[in-house]
Amino acid sequence: MRQIGWVVVAAAAVVSGAACRREAATAPRVALLLPESKTARYETQDWPHFRARLTALGMKPDDILYGNANQDPLAQRTQAEAALANGARVLVLDPVDSDAAAAVADLARARGVPVVAYDRLIKGTDAVTAYISFDNERVGRLQAEGLLRALGGRAGASVVMINGSPTDNNAGMFKRGAHAVLDGKVTVTREYDTPDWSPDKAQAQMQQALTALGNKVDGVYAANDGTAGGVIAALKAAGVSPLPPVTGQDAELAAIQRILVGEQALTVYKAIRPEAEAAAELAFRLATGALAPAAVANEPAYRARVDNGRARVPALLLEPVVVTRANVKDTVIKDGFWKTADVCSGDTAAACRELGIP
């Protein structure tokens, strides 16, 4: 489905290019390549905000190329090649595989096209112009600190850890941050990486852990809201009651609703709009020649440096915020990330009234 979407976008670009060849030859194009669509943020936040900002800056929809790789690093490479062939002057790349994407970045550079690593770092290459993300180790720390609080400081509590995809550099950072907080304070009884960040695989792993542990689990570290959904489904199916505290990340609508009804302890809210808009603005300036790739390092917003194993990449790192039942109102609602009408329906209506939302 998504791949068909990509083909249509690319075909439309080709058709319009033929229709107004002179304009197509001069109009700068940018491409956004996202990694997957099982996690809600990409199609509902990243892509729409990125596109909206570029449109506001005056770019035509046909000049904004988009691909979603649906977890497949080869598909992502093909999408990058198609974007380059279709005249992209900047690639904004959120890699499925942080290591494999180095070859894509090198390919772009060979064509003189700057690459912006979006949300996930591209490792092992000096062909990355900038990195835009959150402080990802801090995300892991916030998740773990929230879990400890939800466990009420119970010494020796047993925790199952369901981490993210082993090919995603962020997943390693979340895990590292979480371990730095949890180790020595709780017992990690089972720990898994989740291929592709797949909620189904997270559910199967949790099921396996519950069987092995005879359903004894005091808390679960789930690296994002998609995997948290799988974990909670497994806990319910195994008849674990009351549910132990479960963490998450992304402030997905389903997770906010689970938090309100008490099924999930917390999520980590990352304001995706400023992330996507910063990427759009940088891509626009690079594509139009207003900013040279080498000059990004002097931009005050890109003061930070992130080591990708090959280079110190100029980086913009935004701050994540932990969200529990107590601050849903003052975070995601106040920010307009979710509207009251989205959040407060059906089962959550009573909790919303109790918490004074709106």
The label of the residue with tokens 């809210």 reads 269
The count of other CB atoms within 10 Å of the CB of residue 90 is 26
* Alpha helices in the chain, H assignment, sequence order: 2-19, 21-26, 41, 47-56, 73-85, 101-110, 136-150, 169-182, 199-212, 225-237, 253-260, 272-287, 340-343, 349-354
Stretch that binds ligand BGC, among 51-59, 85-93, 163-171, 178-186 (CB under 6 A): 163-171
Site string for ligand BGC, 113-152 (x = CB under 6 A): ------xx--------------------------------
Here the tokens at position 298 are 């002097």
Of positions 224, 257, 267, 308, contacts ligand BGC by CB under 6 A: 224
Asked if residue 194 lies in contact with residue 226, where contact means CB atoms within 8 angstroms, the answer is: no
Of positions 47, 66, 197, 337, contacts ligand BGC by CB under 6 A: 197
* Alpha helices in 151-224, H assignment, sequence order: 169-182, 199-212
Residues 22-51 that bind ligand BGC (CB under 6 A): 36, 39, 41
- In whole angstroms, give the CA distance from residue 104 to residue 78: 9
Nearer to ligand BGC, 120 or 123 (CB): 120
Q: Considering the complex, what minimum distance in angstroms separates the CB of residue 119 from ligand BGC? A: 5
Q: Considering the complex, what minimum distance in angstroms separates the CB of residue 298 from ligand BGC? A: 27
Q: Considering the complex, what minimum distance in angstroms separates the CB of residue 224 from ligand BGC? A: 4
Assess 170 for contact with ligand BGC (CB under 6 A): yes
Which is nearest to 58 in space by CA: 293, 284, 286, 292?
284
Here the tokens at position 320 are 């994540």
Nearer to ligand BGC, 70 or 224 (CB): 224
Nearer to ligand BGC, 46 or 263 (CB): 46
Q: Is the peptide bond before 199 cis (omega within 30 degrees of 0)?
A: no
Asked if residue 268 lies in contact with residue 251, where contact means CB atoms within 8 angstroms, the answer is: yes
Site string for ligand BGC, 66-105 (x = CB under 6 A): ----------------------------------------
Q: Considering the complex, what minimum distance in angstroms separates the CB of residue 170 from ligand BGC? A: 4
- In whole angstroms, give the CA distance from residue 331 to residue 255: 14
- In whole angstroms, give the CA distance from residue 204 to residue 194: 10
Residues 304-323 that bind ligand BGC (CB under 6 A): none
Assess 168 for contact with ligand BGC (CB under 6 A): yes
Nearer to ligand BGC, 250 or 263 (CB): 250
Q: Considering the complex, what minimum distance in angstroms separates the CB of residue 172 from ligand BGC? A: 10
Residues near ligand BGC (CB under 6 A) are 36, 39, 41, 119-120, 164, 168, 170, 197, 224, 249-250
